[in-house]
Amino acid sequence: MMKVPSNVLAFAKDNMKTYEMFLDYWKHYQTVNGGKKYEFQTLKEDGTSLSFDEKESKMNAAFKREILRVAGIQNFEEFSPEQWATNPMINWATFAVVSAMIDMILPDTIIDSIGLYTEVRTIGWGDSAAFNVKPRDLFAVSKHGKGQRSTEVHKQYMGQVTIIPEMREMTVQVSLMKVLIGSESLADFVAKVIRSFDTQVVKDAYDLFASTMAALPSTATTGLQVSGYTQADLVRLCQQVTAWNGGAKAVVVGTQLALVNVLPDDANYRYELESDYVKIGYLRTAFGYDVMALP
């Protein structure tokens, strides 16, 4: 289940069904267009199969009803869509509903895309964030003699990092008249906005991740960066990172193209056609460490 933000709950009031419909539509949309597999509704109430086009048509009708509800329009049939398209309340309500839909889906979508190697937190609009960083060093143990009351005193201090968010904004345009008459899909429009935001945030995070990795020291025996791949180098890095993490086991993370090379240094190994290596393109576990592919 997806956690619905409090602002969306307050905005939707007793009309959450429309937003739940869009969540199901989004999962279907991502499975069809985004290359990701989600569970979504596949049957109608009568038990027959529900196609994506049918679901999109129902979603657009639900969008229209929700826009009219938020705009306070009760007599839509009394005027033509061309006339209603000039109503400033319908203009405002359209993008208010669109924004609520985006607010509901986008956070979990971003976490699904980059949660493997990032920490995503929600803060107030316009706020900055301060993070306390605990020292990872252990206390040094001193030798002690009889009759000696105390040894060298040790104390650690917590650090703090302040992060000022970089704002991201998108200005988009939709033909309101075409939306009202049903010839332009607002559902597809909103889904594409979410994918656009998600893609940009993922790119920003991945670029920072890659540049940080490139700046790691590369000394021969203790460095955290090596050229090429050998089993010995990988195991050394995993042991080193595990030790520096206080025993928390390291995880091997990389693109699928890179992880294809994570294989034993032995020319005699074999793998079956039904093995994980053939099915997903890399080993899930190598030399005692979990292996994960970056999306």
Structure tokens belonging to residue 89: 């309340």
Of the candidates 49, 51, 62, the residue with the CA atom closest to the CA atom of residue 23: 62
Residue 66 has pLDDT above 90, yes or no: no
Predicted local confidence at residue 238, as pLDDT: 92
Residue 164 has pLDDT above 80, yes or no: yes
Predicted local confidence at residue 1, as pLDDT: 58
Mean pLDDT, range 121-145, rounded to an integer: 83
Q: Which residues pair with 176 in a beta bridge?
A: none
Residue where a domain stops, chosen among 186, 209, 232: 209
Calpha distance 67→266 (Å, rounded):
63
Residue 2 has pLDDT above 70, yes or no: no
Domain span at residue 260? 218-293
Q: Same domain, yes or no, for 79 and 204?
A: yes
In the chain, the percentage of residues whose pLDDT exceeds 70 is 98
Residue 266 counted as domain residue: yes
- How many C-beta atoms surround the C-beta of residue 242 within 10 A? 16
How many structural domains does the chain have? 2
Residue 162 counted as domain residue: no
Q: Specify which of 79-88, 198-207, 272-281 reaches the highest per-range mean pLDDT.
A: 198-207
Residue 77 has pLDDT above 90, yes or no: no
Q: What residue has token string 């129902």?
A: 58
Residue 183 has pLDDT above 80, yes or no: no
Residue 92 counted as domain residue: yes
Q: Same domain, yes or no, for 202 and 226?
A: no
Q: Same domain, yes or no, for 205 and 223?
A: no
Phi, psi of 162 (to 5 degrees): -105, 130
CA distances from 274 to 266, 281, 287 (A): 21, 11, 21
What kind and span of H or E run contains 204? Answer: helix 186-214
Residue 142 has pLDDT above 90, yes or no: no
Q: Same domain, yes or no, for 81 and 223?
A: no
> DSSP secondary-structure letter at 183?
S
In the chain, the percentage of residues whose pLDDT exceeds 90 is 5
Calpha distance 6→1 (Å, rounded):
15
Q: Same domain, yes or no, for 39 and 94?
A: yes
Residue 65 counted as domain residue: yes
Predicted local confidence at residue 235, as pLDDT: 92
Confidence at 215, pLDDT banded by 50, 70, 90? confident
Q: Same domain, yes or no, for 60 and 103?
A: yes
Phi, psi of 194 (to 5 degrees): -65, -45
The reply to whether the predicted model has a pTM over 0.85 is no
Residue 166 counted as domain residue: no
In terms of Cβ atoms closer than 10 Å to its own Cβ (0-12, 13-18, 19+), residue 62 is: buried
Q: What residue has token string 């009708």?
A: 61
Q: Same domain, yes or no, for 64 and 186?
A: yes
- Residue type at 233 in one-letter notation: D
Q: Same domain, yes or no, for 114 and 223?
A: no
Please write the tens of the pLDDT for every residue from 244-286: 888 889 999 888 888 888 888 877 777 777 777 777 888 888 8
The crossing angle, in degrees rounded to 10, of helices 186-214 and 16-33 is: 60
Please write the tens of the pLDDT for every residue from 231-247: 888 999 999 999 888 88
